[in-house]
Structures are given as C-alpha cells and as structure tokens.
Amino acid sequence: MSNGRFFAFWVLAFLGFPLGGLLAIEVVGSIGDLLSAALAGGAVGVAQWLTLRSRQPRAVLWPVTVAVAWPVGWLVTWSIGVDVERGYAVFGASGALVFAVLTGVAMVVLTHRSRPVAPAVGDLGLVQP
C-alpha cells in the first residue's frame, strides 16, 4: 500500500470519532447516555469498516461490534463512579480496557480462518468393510 493511500485510510478511520460524536449530539442531543454511545461507536465502526472491507470479508460485522462495545465501555466507567454527564468524551481506563478486550476478541474471531476438516471415509466413496 502506498504512503498516500495509507494516509487516506488513516484519516478516514480517524474521522469516525468526531463524526460519531456529532451524530450522537444531533440524534440524541448529548453524548452522555448509552444510545449516544452506541451511535458514536457505530460511526467509528463504519469508518473503520471502510478501511477494513477490502482486506477482510467478514469486516461487515465490525461496525456492530464497535457499536456494542462502546456503550459497554461507558457502562463500566459509570459503574465505578466516573461522571460521564460532565461531558467526558472518552470513557477512562476502565471502560477503555473493557472496550479493548471486547473488540480484540471480536477481531480474533473475525480474522480466524477455520482449517478444512478431513472428509469422513464414507464421504470419499470408499466402501467400509
């Protein structure tokens, strides 16, 4: 991949975060609840999907993964007492860790290639004694 193409993909994925925040504010009116977190996460996931789709056929599941993991991260942060209502755009280390684990596991699952299973003897057309 050329440097210019890489930079273009990087910018596209990077812009997912502010565009997701704008979408959440436009639809919900704030960025302080689970619906806005899901919208923002979905926008980030779509931006990342646009860069992943040519390399990973199952990347279509990525926006949904991020749209679910993002509010789960916020929920973890709220549960330990971080006041998201004060306008924190990023959900702190606890939520970020949970988000990273969820999306990391999803990425492993999405990129996993299953090994072909050896056919059974009957599938080969052989007669069993």
The Cβ of residue 76 has, within 10 Å, a number of other Cβ atoms equal to 18
pTM: 0.71
Q: Are the C-beta atoms of residues 73 and 98 closer than 8 Å to each other?
A: yes
User: Helices (DSSP H) in the chain: which residue ranges?
Assistant: 3-28, 34-52, 62-79, 92-111
The Cβ of residue 115 has, within 10 Å, a number of other Cβ atoms equal to 6
% of the chain residues with pLDDT over 90: 17
% of the chain residues with pLDDT over 70: 78
Q: What is the pLDDT of residue 51?
A: 81
What number is the average pLDDT over the span 14-42?
82
Q: What is the pLDDT of residue 55?
A: 80
